[in-house]
Amino acid sequence: MSFGRLERSRADKPMSDINVTPLVDVMLVLLVIFIIAAPLMASRLSLELPKAEVPAAAPAAPEASVAIALDAQGQLHWNDEPLAEDALRQRLQATAQRNPDTELQLRADAAVPYGRVVQLIGLAQTAGLSRIGFVAEAPAPPAR
């Protein structure tokens, strides 16, 4: 004990440790999100998308294509000719045997359920046709 002076306690040192608990919480939440989202990203249709870039020196060769239309009533059309589903399956197989690179141009009415369109895609892929194009109308330009 010293006389005349009061003892001063030393000031607390600043804490220099990093708190990693919030970081671990955020990483665990992200891990759970990725675990849930991974199966959703794996279920997609395997389509060979067309290439937009064409060499300028070589003219584009006309490719074989077939137009299939599905109207609002569910009637199938092969190049504007009404057709039953069994006959469509046979024509798709015959077309795939002749030329598997034939492009299928699918036109479906806006009122047709998505599941029906997926069935047609499945028929084409089962027959051996992998090039499928979706035909849609361009929106009308806005009136001025």
Model pTM above 0.85: no
**Mean per-residue pLDDT over the chain, rounded:** 78
Domain 65-134 has CATH 3.40.50.300: no
- Measure CA of the first residue to CA of the last residue in the chain; give whole Å: 94
User: Residue 56 corresponds to which amino acid?
Assistant: A
* SS3 call for 67: strand
pLDDT for 17: 81
Name, of 52-61, 62-71, 116-125, the range with top average pLDDT: 116-125
Q: Which residue has the tokens 């992998």?
A: 130
pLDDT for 27: 96
